[in-house]
Amino acid sequence: MLELSINNPDELVKVAHALSSHTRIGIIKLLLTKPNLNVVDIAHALDIPVSTAAINVKVLEEAELILTELQPATRGAMKVCSRNFDDVRMILNPIASYKNPNQIYEVEMPVGHFTNFEVHPTCGIAGKNGMLIQEDMPASFYQPECKNAEIIWLRQGWMEYRFPKTLSANAVINSIEFSLELCSEAPNYNNIWPSDITVWINDVEVGSWLSPGDFGDHRGRLNPPWWNDSSTQYGLLKTWRVDNHHSAVDNVIVSSVTTQDLKLDSKPFISFRIGIKPDAQHRGGINLFGREFGDHAQAIVMKLQYTE
């Protein structure tokens, strides 16, 4: 659920503008029944010019009402669209007293604050001011300066993080989601370099996402000046979500794992592991982006929806 407040007018105006068009409403409605459509598919389905579809997709993307990702096509790559939210809630009177039965607990974890790892070259860690360790030296991941990481890459293996869970004893978690910017890991970069990236929560495999490539066709919006143009530039913002019914990546169901399977009450923390399975069909590595790299100013965000 996307929650908007009058106390954040910029975000409220952006989303309200995105929803003020019959064409854009039509695109959102279309993606409800037909997820993962490209711009040409949307144009044909709504009987509008491709240029019109592209403009309106961009508006929805900027408002984060839909997600887009590049996938391999017959010629180069194509932009594929999917819905990001099922509900939008606008709070126009934040002073009014009300009890929201679905409360939100959110934590953002810097990508350098990992608690465990298993990595194999090519691998490395960089911060906003330069390289933090020597490339292709897995043992260097134990160095304390790795806490300042803003981008981490590895060809094989995984990274693990532990998130706090300071909820009351009466809290019942209805859903958990992790969102982060990521892509594959290729030499320099390669927009068509598939990689099956898998997430585990509390050691339970939740599901995988096929990253289409390691992106470098434009410079990452947040990348520091010292970062080379020939290196990985940006990733895609992806969300793994588990609720009481199933697990999904960007609202596309990937497994039957539910919150009950995760045993979220068994520990005072929640573990999040992301990596490449040894038997994955596409072992194309992974890049993890922090707040200072890529196109999205966030690290790894955990969001719990709960009731008391």
Chain segment 221-265, per-residue pLDDT in tens? 999 999 999 999 999 999 999 999 999 999 899 999 999 999 999
Same domain? 77 vs 172? no
In a domain, 164, yes or no: yes
Same domain? 138 vs 255? yes
What the block records as the tokens of 56 is 């309106």
Helix (H, G, I), strand (E, B) or coil at 180: strand
DSSP structural state of residue 145:
G
Q: Are 293 and 220 in contact (CB under 8 A)?
A: yes
Domain count of the chain? 2
Question: What CA–CA distance (Å, rounded) separates 250 from 113?
Answer: 25
Nearest to 145 by CA among 120, 122, 113, 115: 113
What pLDDT score was predicted for residue 170? 87
Q: How far is CA 282 from CA 25, 36, 167, 273, in A?
A: 36, 20, 38, 18
What pLDDT score was predicted for residue 275? 98
Same domain? 260 vs 135? yes
Nearest to 275 by CA among 164, 185, 188: 185
Q: Tell me the residue type at 180.
A: L
In a domain, 248, yes or no: yes
Q: Which of 65, 89, 113 is the last residue of a domain?
A: 89
Q: Which of 89, 113, 135 is the last residue of a domain?
A: 89
In a domain, 33, yes or no: yes
Same domain? 239 vs 161? yes
In a domain, 95, yes or no: no
In a domain, 96, yes or no: no
Same domain? 112 vs 77? no
Instruction: State which residues form the domain around 63.
Output: 2-89
Q: Which of 89, 117, 152 is the last residue of a domain?
A: 89
In a domain, 98, yes or no: no
Hunting for tokens 């990733």 — which residue is that?
Answer: 235
Same domain? 60 vs 9? yes
pLDDT in tens, the chain (308 residues): 788 888 888 898 999 999 999 999 999 999 988 878 999 999 999 999 999 999 999 999 999 999 888 777 766 678 889 888 878 888 887 655 444 567 899 999 999 999 999 999 999 999 999 999 999 999 999 999 999 999 999 999 999 999 999 998 889 999 999 999 999 999 999 999 999 999 999 999 999 999 999 999 999 999 999 999 999 999 999 999 999 999 999 989 999 999 999 999 989 999 999 999 999 999 999 999 999 999 999 999 999 999 98
Q: How far is CA 127 from CA 136, 150, 178, 226, 289, in A?
A: 16, 5, 22, 10, 10
Question: What CA–CA distance (Å, rounded) separates 92 from 4?
Answer: 8
